[in-house]
């Protein structure tokens, strides 16, 4: 009984750490896109710097999870929770990497006027932030319905990416001089689309943690079209 109590307490603390990591990621998504839209070099540099904090948080949480596995020998649902956390922190770290990529693009394009006003990329950033927040809340509350409610956001994200792709391709076809910057902006859209994919991975892991079954939210999203 004491071992179970200790494991439950330790897992509760780890969930708090994951929640903090997720909140930092939400800030990274918001700040990276805001920096790009507003050509804010200081904010972009902050995002780049904060990526190291996310990396360290991943390592710290992983170490705590492995310690519980080695010392507490958790069973059943607690074991699924640990497996879920170990997967989710990898997704969070990779999403943070995409935010860093966006911030570095901001720094690279700082001295160039944009070929167009950025409208849909900030919209993508807002959706990405919502998806991360939703997935994190689903994890903290162990709520499968909340996890599955990410589907409409996944559909919106895909629609925005396709729209940006077509628009930037049109710019490149009309004026070859726009190709370098349009390509960079398309990579930014791709980074945000990948953030959305990782958020759906997180939601899938919440369903696994709570219900013990695997699902494919991307496939579910396509079936709803």
Residues 14-26: tens digit of each pLDDT: 999 999 999 999 9
Give the pLDDT band of residue 10 (cuts 50, 70, 90): confident
Once rounded to an integer, what is the mean pLDDT over residues 41-70? 96
Q: What mean pLDDT is predicted for residues 133-148?
A: 93
pLDDT confidence of residue 216: 78
Q: Give me the pLDDT at residue 5, please.
A: 59
Res 73 pLDDT > 60: yes
Q: How far apart are the first and last CA of the chain?
A: 49
pLDDT at residue 2, as a whole number: 47
Q: How confident is the model at residue 77 (pLDDT cuts 50, 70, 90)?
A: confident
- Would you state the pLDDT for residue 222? 63
pLDDT number for residue 1: 45
Distance in angstroms (rounded) separating the CA atoms of residues 147 and 23: 17
Please give the CATH topology (third level) of the domain spanning 2-223. Methane Monooxygenase Hydroxylase; Chain G, domain 1 (1.20.58)
Cα separation, 9 vs 183, whole angstroms: 48
Q: What is the pLDDT of residue 156?
A: 95
Token pair listed for 94: 């990779």
pLDDT of residue 54 exceeding 50: yes
Q: What percent of the chain clears pLDDT 70, i.e. is strictly above it?
A: 93
pLDDT of residue 219 exceeding 80, the answer is: no
pLDDT at residue 128 tops 60:
yes
Give a three-class secondary structure readout of 97-160: HHHHHHHHHHHHCCCCCCCCCCCHHHHHHHHHHHHHHHHHHHHHHCCHHHHHCCHHHHHHHHHH
pLDDT beyond 70 at 221: no
- Kindly report, residue by residue over 154-194, the tens digit of the pLDDT: 999 999 999 999 999 999 999 999 999 999 999 999 999 99
User: 118 Cβ partners below 8 Å, 6+ apart?
Assistant: 36, 37, 185
- Inter-CA distances, 170 with 113, 121, 163, 166, Å: 18, 16, 11, 6
Residue from 178, 176, 187 nearest 124 by CA: 187
**What span, in angstroms and rounded, lies between the C-alpha atoms of 151 and 91?**
18
Return mean pLDDT, the chain: 91
The three-state DSSP-derived secondary structure of 42-108 is HHHHHHHHHHHHHHHHHHHHHHHHHHHHHHCCCCHHHHHHHHHHHHHHHHHHHHHHHHHHHHHHHHH
Q: Are 212 and 142 in contact (CB under 8 A)?
A: no
Lowest pLDDT segment from 3-17, 45-59, 72-86, 133-147 = 3-17
What is this structure's pTM?
Answer: 0.91
Instruction: Say yes or no to pLDDT of 4 above 60.
Output: no
**Per-residue confidence (pLDDT) for residue 9, from 0 to 100:** 73
CA distance 8 to 82: 11
CB contact set of 63 (below 8 Å; sequence gap of 6+) = none
Four-point Cα dihedral 124, 130, 133, 136, nearest 10: -80
């Amino acid at each position: 009984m004491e071992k179970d109590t200790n494991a439950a307490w330790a897992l509760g603390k780890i969930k708090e750490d994951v929640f903090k990591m997720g909140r930092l990621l939400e800030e990274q998504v918001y700040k990276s896109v805001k920096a790009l839209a507003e050509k804010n070099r200081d904010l972009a540099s902050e995002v780049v710097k904060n990526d190291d904090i996310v990396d360290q948080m991943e390592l710290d949480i992983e170490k705590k999870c492995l310690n519980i596995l080695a010392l507490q020998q958790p069973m059943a649902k607690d074991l699924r929770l640990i497996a879920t956390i170990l997967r989710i922190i990898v997704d969070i770290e990779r999403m943070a990497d995409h935010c860093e990529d966006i911030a570095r693009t901001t720094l690279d394009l700082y001295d160039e006027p944009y070929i167009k006003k950025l409208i849909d990329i900030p919209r993508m950033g807002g959706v990405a932030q919502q998806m991360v927040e939703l997935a994190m809340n689903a994890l903290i509350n162990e709520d499968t319905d909340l996890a599955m409610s990410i589907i409409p956001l996944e559909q919106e994200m895909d629609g925005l990416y396709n729209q940006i792709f077509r628009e930037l391709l049109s710019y490149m076809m009309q004026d070859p001089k726009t190709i370098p910057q349009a390509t960079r902006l398309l990579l930014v859209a791709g980074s945000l689309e990948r953030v959305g994919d990782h958020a759906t991975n997180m939601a899938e892991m919440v369903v696994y943690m709570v219900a013990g079954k695997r699902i494919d939210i991307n496939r579910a999203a396509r079936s709803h079209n």
